[in-house]
Amino acid sequence: MDREKGTYSVQAVVKAFDLLETLATEDSNPTVPVLAKGLDLSRNKVFRLLATLEDKGLIERDKVNGTYKLGLYAFEMAQHILKSASLIRLAHPIMEELAHKHDEAIYITVMNDDEVLFLDMVDTFQQIKTIPLVGRRFPFFTNAAGKAIKAMSPPDLFDKFSKRRANKIGIADMHQLESELNEIRLKGVAVDFGGLGEGICAVAVAIKDYTGKVVGALTMLAPSFRMFQERLDQEVIPSMLEGAIALSRKFGYAKMAA
């Protein structure tokens, strides 16, 4: 639905962004009076905005001189945005190649906390296809993309995770999941049927950067009836692994065998 810019703007949110922008462009760290004057707001309103943003880690206050600056979380958010943009830019040509070769939907997926986010897609021209999942999130242990990323990440991270959060997020059988991740680690590919919905097959391969860190996964989604075992073994899986090698090399990872 089309709308005029600003029609549904929430003024408190707009002012909060104005405040963050001011802090990002200021050479010196301003005080409440300076910010109030620059934003044309009362000192009380500015103080409340600052307190909220400070609670979220987006800004930091110097308790000695009462000045404010951007917080570490603001920089972390910026890094995530830049990484996502870079990942999409580098991945898209390979995604297009795979989608054209197999005529199935290809996604780039990333891990966000304990969930997989479907970041970008190149769609198929098939009449029967899965629903688009761009922007959707799923618990990592429910689908091939999440399992591929987790399996190829350092095991110690999974060990820490398992102790803290397994019961909380609904992992029923930790030993079974660990066994499945070990198998994925050996094969280099994750395949599931029904993890993202009835009748959906997913094939995922992890992408690494120059440090060996997993940055995401190439993921193919297709109706299960088209993904018979012979096609998976002879066409899809080898092609997806090749795509993972090519994309990882774009990120400077040079240890994957051709």
Classified by CATH at the fold level, domain 80-250 comes out as: Beta-Lactamase (3.30.450)
Q: Is the pLDDT of residue 253 over 50?
A: yes
Q: Where are the domains of the chain?
A: 11-70, 80-250
Q: Number of H helices and number of E strands within the chain?
A: 9, 8
DSSP code string of 172-238:
S-HHHHHHHHHHHHHHS-EEEESTTSTTEEEEEEEEE-TTS-EEEEEEEEEEGGG--HHHIIIIIHH
Cα separation of 221 and 214, whole Å?
20
pLDDT at 179: 85
Identical fold at 11-70 and 80-250?
Answer: no
Q: What percent of the chain has pLDDT over 70?
A: 82
The residue type at 235: E
State the Cα–Cα distance between residues 4 and 135, nearest whole angstrom: 24
Match 């005529």 to its residue by tokens: 103
Domain 11-70 sits in CATH at 1.10.10.10
CA distances from 21 to 69, 74, 167 (A): 11, 11, 40
- Asked if residues 163 and 104 have their Cβ atoms less than 8 Å apart, the reply is no
Question: Please, which pLDDT band fits residue 93 given cuts at 50, 70 and 90?
Answer: very high
- Tell me the per-residue pLDDT of 170-215, one tens digit each, with 9 for 90 and over: 666 677 888 889 999 999 999 999 989 899 999 999 999 888 889 9
pTM of the model: 0.64
Q: What is the dihedral of CA 88, 89, 93, 95, to 10 degrees?
A: 0
Q: What is the CA radius of gyration of the chain?
A: 23
Q: Which of 74, 85, 66 minimizes the C-alpha distance to 17? A: 74
State the pLDDT at residue 96.
93
| DSSP code string of 18-62 | HHHHHHHH-SS--BHHHHHHHHT--HHHHHHHHHHHHHTTSEEE-
What integer is the mean pLDDT of 222-232?
Answer: 94
Average pLDDT for 56-78: 80
Specify the pLDDT at position 24. Answer: 78
